[in-house]
Structure 1
Amino acid sequence: MADSPTTKKQATRKKGVKKRSAKSPATKKSGRVRRSEVVAVIDIGAISIRMAVAEIHAGGAVRQLDSLIQPVELGRDSFNQRFLTRGTIEKSVEILRRYRRTLLEYGIESTDRVRVVATSAVREASNRLAFIDRVYVATGLDVEVMDEAEVNRITFMGVMPHLHSAAFEDPRKIVVVEMGGGSTELLVIRGGNVLHSESFRLGALRLQETLRGSRATASARRGLLESHIKRTLMRMADQVRVDGPIHLVALGGDMRFAGHCLLPDWDGVSLTRLDTADLRAFADKVLRMDEDQIVKQYGASFLDAQTLGPALLTYSLLTERFSLDEVYLCEANLRDGLLRDMASGGDWTSEFRDQTIRSARALGRRFDYDESYANSVAELSRRLFTELADEHKLSQRFEVLLYVASLLHEIGLFINVQSNHKHAFYIIRNSELFGLSKSEKNLVGLIARYYRRAFPQPSHEVYRNLNRDDRVAVAKAAALLRLAIALNDTRSGRIREIRCLREEKRLVIVVPDVEDVSLERLAMQKASGLFQEIFGVPVLLRTTSTR
């Protein structure tokens, strides 16, 4: 097809892939795939718009069918003037229109089977809403501007299968770094647990733009790049907290390109080692070349040639910073993670939920919280959430948000007893919680903020600015948290098992194996007001021995 976008470097469309009827797949809109279906993800980045088309099978397996890329200068506009020009917007729209035509070849007519995301270039543009609206009007595609936390979550989903398959034999920290056009993502992992995640405003295109118009020699230009890079690498090293040998896993198109140049036998799928001496020599060579020379000698696209030198210099300096003899290369990318997310139906996997909860516990320890008490309340919240699923009808995502809020609802005590619920809200909103976006941290903070005192009010600005669904969800989750706290009023953790029953016009919480619940019953009378206001029924606490 004449207007099907590809590049010289990009893998061409796979031959023999059968185009599918739009009527053949059967899925639930927000659930797991019931049988195979073809879906697509589109990544609007700083220097290109990329699309991956894949077949997702009922068991969650993903088979990529097609991969396309087209250059666009969103980052150049955004990083230099914080504004996307009309010409750049219209070029992006035209690319997305072509992609829509390609999707029709695969039987993808509904936008429900396409996820479109934008990263730092669109996120930092002052007219990002105009960009999103223009794309929607022209193509029907709904662009999701991902914040740093969501990018880290998707990166985690994309890279973890590769780390599991590599089965590192020693307990070293694994440092995963992905440099894009506008930002660099960092994940620090040990034993499968994420110790730290962060996004830094260090990107290959952003670095290249610092040299635009410079007439300095190649040596002087390299010196300028190094000074910019090393400032960020110092901050990254502080977060890695090197306490022994580490494994460095490098993601990103520039490192994949270097890997294929230096390791011609690499299958491009498995995790592979690259000697850092070879990487540094290659980076030195590329930095002495101009873009035309890179294109001619290595067969790179002009798009790749623009960012290759700054990116390879960054990874090279990173290996020096950590005194590494080797670096691991991985083909995982943002689109892989997005496809895996779609394969799970958008549900948070148990592995991801565990990572988020570990992050919350780490935050609680920083603020000297009562961990035993917090764990008891969180477990009771989870049981209430499960027992009352037919009542609250909240998604499984809110089970995690409620659990995290339950763990952290008292961290405001570190600042002051008075108004500690408000302090907890502030701490949660402004802290790093792995995998939770800014909006999700707002929800967690609000649930914790309403664990005591006033009910949610329109006069509370952050609550007022939520959409209706989120306002209702916060109120429901806060009501469940108040019940969980009442059940642990003695702070002994003696109540662990509960059952919830509907009797006439009241909710009965049955507590087995505990004879005297008089203290908890008094606490429940005070704490159940929000639940009654939201759900319209009073709450009664009963033991199995009560008649």
Structure 2
Amino acid sequence: MPVYGVIDVGSNAIKLKVARCEAPATIETLCDEREAVRLGVGVFRGKPISRETVRAAAAVLTRFEKLFESHGVKQYRAVATSAMREAPNRHSVIEEIRERTGISLEVISGSEEARLIQVGTSLDVNAAQGSVLFIDVGGGSCEISVREGGDLKDLCSLALGAVRLTENFVSSDPISSDDHRKLKDYIYSELRNNVGMMARRSYELAIGTAGTINAICESIVAQRELYPSSTASAVRYASVSSFHRRLRQMKLEDRKALPGMASNRADIIVAGAAVLKYIMKTFHLEAIRPSKRGLRDGVLLDLLLRHTRDTRLEREFHRARRDALVRFGDRFAVPRAHTDHVTHLALRLFDQLPSLHKLGEHERGLLEAAGLLHEVGRAVNYGSMHKHSYYIIRNAELTGFTQDEIAMIANVARYHRRSDPSMKHENYAALSPRQRSVVRWLAGILRVADGLDRHHDARVRDLHVRVTPKSILLDLDNEYEAELEIWSSQRKAGLLEEVAERVVEYREKAAPERKVHTQPPSTAVKH
């Protein structure tokens, strides 16, 4: 059974998980470690991560790399969250850690963090439970997501981490009334501006994850005489509110002495409890169920999906990604019928050319994403749509995609029209040789598909491909005459012809005679 490794470089600690698994039901944890390294110190006030902190993080990651080796880990993923997202020196820190440890850190977006937390925590949730709210209070950010009937419906990432809020709002011990008022106002402002309709829904279950929420819940449960209505599986809002009031009046040493309270969290627990209390109040939650699962479990399942063939996981993952892509496209008013159909034609073409492109499901997913989003740039300017699409996608937080994948999707969208990929273009030159090759194939396919919906009316319903030593013959299933579609696609076929080393030919179903339309690669023009 394969062994996978996960590292979570957070704002408050660096954590590791090693597990043996072939499917979600067979996960066997082999190693679970946590080292307190506060990368977020100073970062949330605009300061860089200090040299001392970088050295401490590198030392921990060196030990974790040795644990990977001792357990026979072949596939791993090391993700970094809020502190690294915001650190002004994040690029140099990531490079130094890679040089010192050999571990490549991947900075994930807030929305991707929320998705992965929901995926990991859902291991403890029955899909039939209906509407479930997930809350994760970390050191730098707070992730909230909604799952209904097994499907991810909504998510957001808020600047409500316990370390961040402690640094910015807690200036005395105990916290002063003025500081608490400012803290409360800020929390409510973040919630008011971000949770929207999420807070107006009703939920059958609310689950709290990460160390801050677990520390609060464990301390409440350990003080049963003060909070008799709360249990390990259901901590009541009344208990959280009362506990928060007590914390506000306590000095640090008194908080450390609380039953069930981890001493290394006592300094940030006042802000953390305020976040949990005001979220529960905003969402009208009577109780919350604490969970030990979270981001690392979600990353583990993500790894499992990428390296095994669990069809249920695969369907859920694909559905969540596609739904998020559609929502993102809708924000920019993309012509959905057109982008959906172009994506359909592009995937049909991709699926019938495996002997030429030699790409797999991973690259197919990138093509689908680029197809759905290739026209987001038209919201800025139609003439330079492809360039604006690149910038919008490249700077987006696309659910279910890594930063490298987002860069490739953005490049494919960039080259769906006009100029070919060129090393003179910074966005393309920044890719690895392998990534550049994939982008050329996918952009070439997308160009041909885009041309085949020139009227935006899906008149070319489908296509069938026959590959010969010299040509790629597209047999079109068109409802109406498709002369303009063929002309448009021919003008854009040059890139595909170049990478495939074959001329692209078209055969129109509705033509009186099934004529072959062909154009030599040398005369193809950009559109």
TM-score (norm 1): 0.81
Cα distance in 1 for residues equivalent to 2:258 and 2:194: 33
Note if contact 2:417-2:447 (Cα within 8 Å) is conserved in structure 1: yes
Q: How does 1:231-380 map to 2 (within 5 A)?
A: 231-238=189-196, 240-246=197-203, 248-263=206-221, 272-345=233-306, 349-380=314-345
**What one-letter code is carried by the residue in structure 2 that aligns with 1:468?**
P
Per-residue CA shift, 1:232-267, capped at 9, x if unaligned? 1222333x45444245432221212333344579xx
**What SS does the corresponding residue of 1:47 show, helix, strand or coil?**
coil
What residue is the counterpart of 2:182 in the other structure? 224
Aligned-pair Cα RMSD in Å: 3.2
Once the 2 structures are TM-superposed, how far is the Cα of residue 362 of structure 1 from its aligned partner? Answer: 2.5
Q: Percent identity?
A: 27
1:542 aligns with 2:507: yes
Per-residue CA shift, 1:30-68, capped at 9, x if unaligned? xxxxxx133322222222121122112367732212322
From 84, 87, 90, the counterpart of 1:128: 90
Note if contact 1:401-1:444 (Cα within 8 Å) is conserved in structure 2: yes
Note if contact 1:84-1:125 (Cα within 8 Å) is conserved in structure 2: yes
Note if contact 1:275-1:325 (Cα within 8 Å) is conserved in structure 2: yes
Cα distance in 1 for residues equivalent to 2:66 and 2:81: 24
Per-residue CA shift, 1:458-494, capped at 9, x if unaligned? 3433233333332222221111111212333443324
How many residue pairs were aligned? 500
What residue is the counterpart of 1:9 in the other structure? none
Q: How does 1:381-396 map to 2 (within 5 A)?
A: 381-396=346-361
Cα distance change on mapping 1:365 and 1:338 into 2, 3 Å: closer
Cα distance change on mapping 1:113 and 1:436 into 2, 3 Å: closer
Cα distance change on mapping 1:94 and 1:284 into 2, 3 Å: same
TM-score (norm 2): 0.84
From 49, 52, 55, the counterpart of 2:20: 55
Per-residue CA shift, 1:79-135, capped at 9, x if unaligned? 35622323222222333343345445x433x6x444322222233333334433443
**What one-letter code is carried by the residue in structure 2 that aligns with 1:315?**
L
The worse-fitting range, judged by mean Cα deviation, of 314-323 and 433-442 is 433-442
Once the 2 structures are TM-superposed, how far is the Cα of residue 380 of structure 1 from its aligned partner? Answer: 1.1
1:107 aligns with 2:64: no
Gaps of 5+ in 1: 1-35
Note if contact 2:461-2:478 (Cα within 8 Å) is conserved in structure 1: no
Once the 2 structures are TM-superposed, how far is the Cα of residue 531 of structure 1 from its aligned partner? Answer: 0.8
The worse-fitting range, judged by mean Cα deviation, of 43-52 and 86-95 is 86-95
Per-residue CA shift, 1:338-358, capped at 9, x if unaligned? 211222235893322222222
**What SS does the corresponding residue of 1:144 show, helix, strand or coil?**
strand
Cα distance change on mapping 1:41 and 1:416 into 2, 3 Å: closer
Cα distance change on mapping 1:213 and 1:324 into 2, 3 Å: closer
**What one-letter code is carried by the residue in structure 2 that aligns with 1:236?**
N
Note if contact 2:12-2:40 (Cα within 8 Å) is conserved in structure 1: yes
Per-residue CA shift, 1:151-192, capped at 9, x if unaligned? 2342232133334x16324xx5x4422111111123244454
Once the 2 structures are TM-superposed, how far is the Cα of residue 437 of structure 1 from its aligned partner? Answer: 4.7
Q: How does 1:436-447 map to 2 (within 5 A)?
A: 436-447=401-412
1:139 aligns with 2:101: yes
What residue is the counterpart of 1:4 in the other structure? none
Note if contact 2:135-2:143 (Cα within 8 Å) is conserved in structure 1: yes
Once the 2 structures are TM-superposed, how far is the Cα of residue 385 of structure 1 from its aligned partner? Answer: 1.6
1:86 aligns with 2:51: yes
Cα distance change on mapping 1:219 and 1:252 into 2, 3 Å: same
Cα distance change on mapping 1:345 and 1:403 into 2, 3 Å: closer
Cα distance change on mapping 1:212 and 1:359 into 2, 3 Å: closer
**What one-letter code is carried by the residue in structure 2 that aligns with 1:522?**
W
Cα distance in 2 for residues equivalent to 1:103 and 1:443: 29
Cα distance change on mapping 1:369 and 1:271 into 2, 3 Å: farther
Note if contact 2:386-2:414 (Cα within 8 Å) is conserved in structure 1: yes
Note if contact 1:404-1:444 (Cα within 8 Å) is conserved in structure 2: yes
Cα distance in 1 for residues equivalent to 2:353 and 2:161: 47
Once the 2 structures are TM-superposed, how far is the Cα of residue 204 of structure 1 from its aligned partner? Answer: 0.2
From 421, 427, 449, the counterpart of 1:484: 449
